[in-house]
Structure 1
Amino acid sequence: MSDAYTPSPRADKIADWLEVAAIREDRGLGAAAQRELAVAAGVREIDLDLGRNTMVRRAAVLGSAYPFRTGSGIAAAPDVADFPWASMLLMSAESPMRLVIDLPRSAAMFEQITACALVHLYGGGTRSVRFGWPSDIGRPREFPDAVRWLAADMGVAIGSSYRPPYAKDGGVDVVAWRPFPDGRSGFPVTLVQCTLERDYAHKAGDVDVRVWAGWLRLDVDPTTALAVPEVVPAGEAWNALAARTVVLDRIRLASLIREETRMGYPLAGVRSWTASTVDAMRSR
């Protein structure tokens, strides 16, 4: 078995379907129960095996960050709402709750998940901030003021380029950086675009590094990243994105979030939303 997690689009879709079923049923799903659900949903036995195997691979990659048991049966963790994986699953394009959730609110919470994950992007000492608007952390509304606020938080000077007041976030929803103890300039920075869009490939180019170089005076060009709540499959879809930006999909984001962060205050609102969404799905 390869160390790389390289799911196919079909494997991903069936694995997500099994995860949603395990959450919705709120009980362990043995082989017979899985087959019964598969027949009702028109899922073939061969695809059922593919989905189960993909869940096993996800569990191997994520360990305690994966909220499903994949042994003799499939079951969601009793505290499944506490896991960012479940939050992102319910926000994803194929989620049965997609048509009933508040998408702007969900998008803001996905940005919060991304910001919490990126605190660990560059190891100890990494900082991250949700730059998207509307803000719940005190970011000024007007874009020129927001850039000045961000520069002060990062400890860098603002650039001389014109900052349009009508801009909301300049394509950047989360910023992560890792200052060094010497306090000097020239440290790694990542500018992240987050999206819940079903077709997200075009979002890979939303962050223009050249424009941001005129807004923030950075000695080193920043890295860009695209964060999505999906698991991006291997092959053409992955290669097209990875050639243009760093891909932060559900697997990578969940792997970055430590358990103490997951249970802590930064994601309390996300946990509450996920719990209420799970309850709503189970009552449908």
Structure 2
Amino acid sequence: MEDDRHEAADVVLDELEHRSAVVGSYYPFQIRSRGANWSIRCVSTRDRQSNESSTGQECYIFCLLTSAIRDRRIQGQGIPDLERAMARHFQEIASEAAADVIGGVSVSFGWPRKEGTAFRPALQDLNRQLRLGTVHDSVPIWSNGREKDSGIDVVAWREFDDKRPGKLVLFGQVASGNDWTKKSVKADTPRFLSWFSQQPTHHYIPAIFIPFPQHHECAGSSEAAFEDVASAQAWLREQEFGLVIDRLRIVGAAARRLTSSASQSGGNTLTSVREWIDSALNEAKSAA
């Protein structure tokens, strides 16, 4: 029994050290070990300095709490409100991260939109910003009139100096629930593009944004090292979902963008995320 506990503790430590090594200064915890014993503590972000490292740490904590709520490890009367808000905040974080990944700009298109814009007006506004393709002059007869985002939550693109068509374009889906593997932006994008009489692009980068490590359900194998299995599964997911931007990838990308002058709404997003973190932590404390 004692050996089993030590083995389980070693597995946990290996995972924590992996996360720390991958995200670097964006990791919000300090791990201390002495012999067979180790401890972990949260790095305080109470000073609220909006530098890149602390912003990444706050994004990490947000994603961690989102995962805990998803797995029902935090429960309480305030959870429904937190869940509604976390979906909106994570989409904003994903949009900022997408802009950094693509090296350009992004639009948070998913429903519900902050401005409350209906689908077609939002699509026309996106079209004006993207400056590619042509939206149908009238609503297609196959439309059911209830479209929200047609499966596309984030659109990001990078212009070239000549400003001509042939831009780098990313279509992304944001998923924070347990059913994320049942979603694929590669399946939704053709339906989204059917709203254009002239499609903005034929080649694009499909992506999915998730607030947890994509290997979180990897059980390993007795016949191969854990990292080999996790890498093989990541390769397979890319075939199905496109670019998978998980927690360990999103925090750095979001932090760089949110603290840059290029971000249009970085300050507001950070304020909202910080308020949500405080509410989630208070809910966890009251339910403990």
Do the structures match in fold with TM over 0.5?
Answer: yes
Q: Does 1:232 align with 2:214?
A: yes
Paired with 1:236 and 1:205, the residues of 2 have a C-alpha distance of 21
Partner of 1:47: 8
For 1:120-199, what aligned pairs fall within 5 Å after superposition? 120-123=100-103, 126-136=104-114, 138=115, 140-141=117-118, 143-160=119-136, 162=140, 164=143, 165-199=145-179
The number of residue pairs the alignment matches comes to: 239
Q: Does 1:75 align with 2:41?
A: yes
Q: Does 1:261 align with 2:258?
A: yes
Q: Does 1:86 align with 2:61?
A: yes
SS in 1 for 2:106: strand
Instruction: Give how far 1:104 is off.
Output: 2.3
Retained in 2: the 8 A contact 1:116–1:128? Answer: yes
Aligned residues: CA RMSD: 2.6
Retained in 1: the 8 A contact 2:59–2:255? Answer: no
Paired with 2:75 and 2:62, the residues of 1 have a C-alpha distance of 12
SS in 1 for 2:194: helix
Q: Percent identity?
A: 26
Paired with 1:282 and 1:133, the residues of 2 have a C-alpha distance of 31
Q: Does 1:247 align with 2:244?
A: yes
TM-score, normalised by the number of residues in structure 1 = 0.75
Cα deviation 1:79-126 (Å, max 9, x = unaligned): 179511110111113362266253222111110110111121122xx1
Retained in 2: the 8 A contact 1:228–1:248? Answer: yes
Paired amino acid for 1:172: I
Paired with 2:75 and 2:163, the residues of 1 have a C-alpha distance of 44
Retained in 1: the 8 A contact 2:97–2:250? Answer: yes
Retained in 1: the 8 A contact 2:172–2:185? Answer: no
Retained in 2: the 8 A contact 1:116–1:261? Answer: yes
TM-score, normalised by the number of residues in structure 2 = 0.74
Paired with 1:260 and 1:155, the residues of 2 have a C-alpha distance of 22
Retained in 1: the 8 A contact 2:127–2:135? Answer: no
Q: 1:184 to 1:206 in 2, by over 3 A?
A: closer
Paired amino acid for 2:60: W
Partner of 1:108: 88
Instruction: Give how far 1:255 is off.
Output: 2.6
SS in 2 for 1:129: strand
Paired amino acid for 1:96: R
Retained in 2: the 8 A contact 1:187–1:220? Answer: no
Q: 1:240 to 1:202 in 2, by over 3 A?
A: farther
Q: Does 1:200 align with 2:166?
A: no
Higher mean C-alpha displacement, 157-166 vs 178-187: 157-166
Paired with 2:257 and 2:72, the residues of 1 have a C-alpha distance of 27
SS in 2 for 1:70: strand
Structure 1 unaligned regions, length at least 5 = 1-38
Paired with 2:177 and 2:99, the residues of 1 have a C-alpha distance of 24
Q: 1:219 to 1:242 in 2, by over 3 A?
A: closer
Paired amino acid for 1:85: Y
Cα deviation 1:134-182 (Å, max 9, x = unaligned): 211x3622x2222111111212232448383311000011111111232
Paired with 1:280 and 1:47, the residues of 2 have a C-alpha distance of 29
Moved over 4 A (4+): none
Paired with 2:269 and 2:123, the residues of 1 have a C-alpha distance of 23
Partner of 2:226: none
SS in 2 for 1:193: strand
Paired with 2:256 and 2:43, the residues of 1 have a C-alpha distance of 14
Paired with 2:270 and 2:132, the residues of 1 have a C-alpha distance of 28
Q: 1:135 to 1:264 in 2, by over 3 A?
A: same
Paired with 1:122 and 1:98, the residues of 2 have a C-alpha distance of 37
